[in-house]
Amino acid sequence: MIPGVTAARAADGSWQRLGVALSRLAGWRRLGLSAALGVLAAAALPPVHALPVLPIAFAGLLWLLDGCSTRRGAFALGWSFGFGHFVAGLYWVSESLLIEPEKFAWLIPFAVSCIPAYLALYTGAVTLLVHLSAARGVRRVLVFAAAWAAMEWLRGVLFTGFPWNPLALSLTVSDAAVQLAAVLGVFGLSFVLALVAAAPSVLATPAGAPRWTVVGAAALLLAAVWAGGALRLAAAPSAAVPGVVLRVVQGNIAQRIKWLPGLRDRHLARYLRLSTAPDGTAGKPTHLIWPETAVPVIVARDEVRRRLMGSVTPADGLLFTGTLRTGAEAARPFRVWNSMQVVDATGRLRATYDKFHLVPFGEYVPLRGLLGRLGLEAVAAERADFTAGPGPRTLRLAGLPPVSPLICYEAIFPSAVADARDRPGWLLNLTNDAWFGMSAGPYQHFASARLRAVEEGLPLVRAANTGISGVVDGYGRVTAWLGLGRTGVLDAPLPAALAATPFSRFGHAPLALVLAVALAAGLWRGTARPDQSGSG
C-alpha cells in the first residue's frame, strides 16, 4: 500500500467518523453543542474577524442536522445555533441598559435573551428548510447557503427589520473581499461565505463522493471573489470632490453625563473648541459635521446657542449636527424627532432631516398601550416615543454634492439608505454609539455602514460621538478615521461618487436570481424525505 494513499484514506475515515459521532448526539447534548458552535461563529464578526471558525461551526451544524429525524428537531437545532450566535454577537446591547441602571438594569436578562431568541427563529428556519429538502452532499450545501442568505434578507425587512450582523460582515476585514456587494449586496456576500463555510461538511459523506473536489471548488470561489475585488480596486481612482474639506468632530462625551443640565454649556464649548482647532493636512475645513444629538439642546428653539454654532462655521460653509426637534408645546400628542439640522455661519437653519427608521424599544415602544402597562419604556425616548420622518431624502445644499442623511442604525439597512428616484452624491451617517461603550457594537456598526458605501457606490461620512468616526469612499475603503473612545477631529476631502452600481439600480433582484438558481440546483434530483416520526 502506498503510504500517501493510506494516510489520505485514514483522514477520510476520520472525517466520516466525526460526522457520524456528531449525528448520533441527541437531546440537550445536541442542542448544547449547536449553541456552542453558534457562539464560535460569532468570533468571525468584527472586531475579531476569526474567519477560520466558520467552516468548523457550519460543518458541525450540518453534521448535527444529520441526526435530526423530525421537523421539530431540525428547527430546534438551528434555533439553538442562532441563539448562541446572537447572544455572543449582541451581548453589547446590555451596555445601553447600564447608562441608567436604576431604570433599566432589570431588563438586561430579557435583552440578552429575548432579542437572540427572536433572531434565532430565522436560523431555525434555515435548518428546517435544509431538513425538508432531504438534499445531501453538495446539494445540501447549496440549499443551506441559499436558505441562510434568504433568512438574513427576511430578517432585515420583517417587523421593521433588524439586519444586524449578517454573515458577510466578517469579510469587512478586507476591502477586496466585499466588492461583490456592489452587485449582489450584503446578503449575496453572505450567500458566498455560507457556501464556502458549509462545504467541508461533505467530507463526512461516503467514500467515492467528490468530497475534496467540492471543498477545493469552494475555496476557489472565495479566492475568485477576493481576486475580483482586488482587480476592481487596482483600477479604482481616488478622486475627491474639488474644494470640499470636511471636518468631522468627535466630542467623546459619555452618555451618562451627556444630558445633565449643568454640563450642557460645557459640552457645547467642547464642540466649539474642536471645530476651531488648527487646520489639518487636508487643508482648511469648508464644512463641519457633528454627531447624533451632539448638542444637548433643541437647536431650532435655541437662537443663542445656534449663533454660537454659526460663529465657528466656515464663512461659505455649513455645520451639520444631530439634535432633537419638537413640535409645538401645546400640540397633542406632543411630538419629538431625532433629527439632523444644518446651520450656516449666521446661525440660520438651512435644512432639516428627521430619522425615519426608529429603533424598537430604543426610540419607541411597540404596542406601547400594552407593554407600557408592564413598565417598559424606550431607553432613549422614555415616556414620549419619537416620531418617524418621511423616509430617505436627498438634500441639496450650497457648495456640496446632494447628500442622503442617515441617523444611527439607519445605515445598516441595505437598499434603504438613498432615494432611488433622486440619487445623492454621498451618504452622511450621524450616530451616537456612546450607548455601547467600548464593546464590539461600534465596530460592527461601522463595518455595516462601510458595506452601504460599496453597495451604492457612494462615499460615506460617519460622525460618532465616541467613535468610530470615519470617511469611506465608494469602494468601502476607509480614507480617514478616528478610533473608539478618542476626542478629536478628522479633516478629510470628500471622495467623489462612483457611477451607479448594479445593486443601486436593481436592488436585491440579482440576489433573488442567484438564490433561485442555487435552490433549484440543490433540490434537483432530491432523494426521498426522511421519516418524520419520533421526537428528534
| Residues with catalytic function | 292, 355, 408
Extract the C-alpha cell encoding 348. Answer: 440660520
> How far is the C-alpha of 118 from the C-alpha of 116, rounded, in Å?
5
Question: 402 and 425 in contact (C-beta within 8 Å)?
Answer: yes
- In the sheet that holds 478-482, the strands lie side by side as 403-407, 426-431, 460-464, 469-472, 478-482
Task: Please identify which residue in the block is written with the cell numbers 460592527.
Answer: 444
Q: Give CA separation, 19 vs 24, 62, 133, 202, in Å.
A: 9, 9, 19, 9
Query: 39, 81 in Cβ contact below 8 A?
Result: no
Element (H, E) at 137: helix 137-155
Cell of 485: 473612545
Distance CA 493, CA 426 (A): 12
Identity of the amino acid at 270: R
Instruction: Please give the Cα distance from 523 to 139 (Å, whole number).
Output: 7
Query: Contact at 8 Å (CB) between 186 and 451?
Result: yes
- What secondary structure, in 3-state letters, does 216-273 show? HHHHHHHHHHHHHHHHHHHCCCCCEEEEEEEEEEECCCCCCCCCCHHHHHHHHHHHHH
Identity at 375, one-letter amino acid code: G
